[in-house]
Amino acid sequence: MSELAVILGLSGPKLTAAERVFFRDANPWGFILFSRNIESPEQVSRLTSDIKEAVGRECLIFVDQEGGRVQRLRAPHWRKFPSGAAFQHLYAKENWMGKRAAYLSYRLIADDLRAVGITANCAPVLDLPQKSADPIISDRAFGVKPQPIIDIAHAAMAGMMCGGVAPVIKHIPGHGRATVDSHKELPRISASRKTLEKTDFIPFRALSDAPMAMTAHAVYECNSRSAVTVSKKSMTELVRAAIGFNGLVMTDDLDMKALKGGLTRKTERALAAGCDVALQCSGKLPAMVEVAKGAKALEGRAKRRSVVAEYCADHVTPFDRIAAEHEFDALLSEVPYLKPTAPRLAG
C-alpha cells in the first residue's frame, strides 16, 4: 500500500485506539510531534515505537527542535539549546566559532531526537530577516546577511545528518520580509523579483541540495496572487526554477490562518501546486480525516524525493556526547547574554 502524501500530528502523549486504526488505514508518510506529545524520554520512545507499529513500517517522525523559542523537547529531561542568534553572535567574533557551535548544537539535538525515535527535524531556518518584519523569525535567524546564514546552516544540517536525523530547510522561498505572522494571517511580500534574487533566495539556493524544505505561507506579489504553498506558478518558477530546489517540499502547517478554506481543499490545492507532502499538525482526528480526503498517494517524483529524505536518517556517525557538550558549553560561554546550560539528565 502506497503512503499517503501527508504528515500528521497526534492528540497527546499516547496513541489512542482511534488513531491506531486511522493511521493503519490511511498510512500517512510521516508524523510530527509537539509539546503536547512529549513528557519524558521513555514516554516518547514508546510513542514513536507505537506509531511505527501502527503503520507497519519505519517512517520519518518530525519535530521542531531549533532551540530558543522553538524547542519541543525541554527540561528537565533535555538540555536547553540557544536560538540562531547565538551562532550569529559567535560567527561575528570568529567565523569558525559560529559554524562549530551550530554543528555541535544540532549534533547534540540529533542525539536527543534519535534516542527517542524522532528521525527528522524542521530546521535549519534560512530566512533572512528584515527590520520591518514581524518578529516571528527575528532571533531564530542565523544572520542578517546571506553568507553567515549559509555557513551556519550548512554546519547545522551536517550536525543533524551525522546524527541520523533528516533536516528540513525553512521557510522556502523566504519568510524574512513577512510583516505579519502567517499563523494569524497571510503575509504579502512586495519586494521585486530582482531584490529577492539578490537577498532572500540566496541561502535557499546555496542549500538547494537539502533533502527537504518547508514552504512559507506567503504571497510573493512579483510572481503570484496566491500563497506559495498553493501556487503552482510560485512553486514552479520560484522554488524549483529560481532557487533550484529539487528535494521534497512539505507545506507549512495547513491549520495556519494564512490559508483560507477547509482542510480538504487546502490539501488538494497544495498538492496540485507542486508540494510533495501536506503537513497538518493539530492532532485532531476529524481534521486529519479531512486532510486525508484531499490527499493522494505518494508516487512519481514525490515518492523518489521521499526515499532520498528517508535515506538521510539512515546513518549515524560515532559521537562522544560528553566531549561535545564540554566543547559546546565553552563556545557558548563567549555569548554574554546566555546563561550556562547543564547537560541533559540521564534517562
Q: Is 71 helix (H, G, I), strand (E, B) or coil?
A: strand
Q: How far is CA 266 from the centre of its chain?
A: 20
Residue 132's CATH number:
3.20.20.300
β partners of residue 188: 219
Report helix angle 146-162 to 95-115, nearest 10: 30
pLDDT for 339 equals 66
Dihedral, 67, 305, 214, 64 alpha carbons, nearest 10: -30
In tens, the pLDDT along 148-188 reads: 999 999 999 999 999 999 999 999 999 999 999 899 999 99
Q: Answer yes or no: is 341 within a domain.
A: no
pLDDT for 343 equals 46
Amino acid found at 238: L
Q: Answer yes or no: is 183 within a domain.
A: yes
pLDDT for 344 equals 45
Asked about 252 being catalytic, the answer comes back as: yes
Structural domain including 190 reads 4-332
pLDDT for 345 equals 40
In tens, the pLDDT along 281-305 reads: 999 999 999 999 999 999 999 999 9
Q: β-strand 219-220 against 188-189: which pairing, if any?
A: parallel
Name the residue among 67, 70, 71 with its Cα closest to residue 86.
67
Q: Is the pLDDT of residue 9 over 70?
A: yes
Written as one string, the DSSP assignment of 80-119 is: ----HHHHHHHHHH-HHHHHHHHHHHHHHHHHHHHHTT--
Q: Answer yes or no: is 273 within a domain.
A: yes
Given the residues 64, 252, 253, 255, select the one marked as catalytic: 252
pTM, two decimals, is 0.95
Q: Answer yes or no: is 344 within a domain.
A: no
Q: Answer yes or no: is 337 within a domain.
A: no
Q: What is the mean pLDDT of residues 192-220?
A: 97
Contact 172, 245 (CB under 8 A): yes
Q: What is the mean pLDDT of residues 56-81?
A: 97
Q: Is the pLDDT of residue 252 over 50?
A: yes
pLDDT for 346 equals 35
Rounded Cα distance between 231 and 301, Å, is 18
Q: Is the pLDDT of residue 250 over 70?
A: yes
Domains identified in the chain, total number: 1
Report helix angle 285-294 to 17-26, nearest 10: 10
Rounded Cα distance between 141 and 69, Å, is 12
Q: What is the mean pLDDT of residues 307-315?
A: 96
Given the residues 50, 139, 181, 183, select the one marked as catalytic: 183
pLDDT for 11 equals 98
Q: Is the pLDDT of residue 340 over 70?
A: no
Give the gyration radius of the chain's Cα atoms. Answer: 19
Q: Answer yes or no: is 346 within a domain.
A: no
Which cell is 35 given? 509539546
Q: What is the mean pLDDT of residues 97-121?
A: 98
Q: Answer yes or no: is 233 within a domain.
A: yes
Contact 285, 19 (CB under 8 A): yes
Peptide bond between residue 187 and the one before it cis (omega within 30 degrees of 0): no
β partners of residue 203: none
Asked about 253 being catalytic, the answer comes back as: no
Written as one string, the DSSP assignment of 250-277 is: EPSPTTSTTS-S-HHHHHHHHHHHT-SB
pLDDT for 132 equals 85
pLDDT for 341 equals 56
Q: Is the pLDDT of residue 90 over 80?
A: yes
Q: Answer yes or no: is 343 within a domain.
A: no
Say which residues have a Cβ less than 8 Å from residue 182's Cβ, sequence separation at least 6: 136, 175, 216, 217, 218, 252, 256, 257, 258
Name the residue among 3, 83, 74 with its Cα closest to residue 34.
74
Q: Mean of the per-residue pLDDT values for the chain?
A: 95
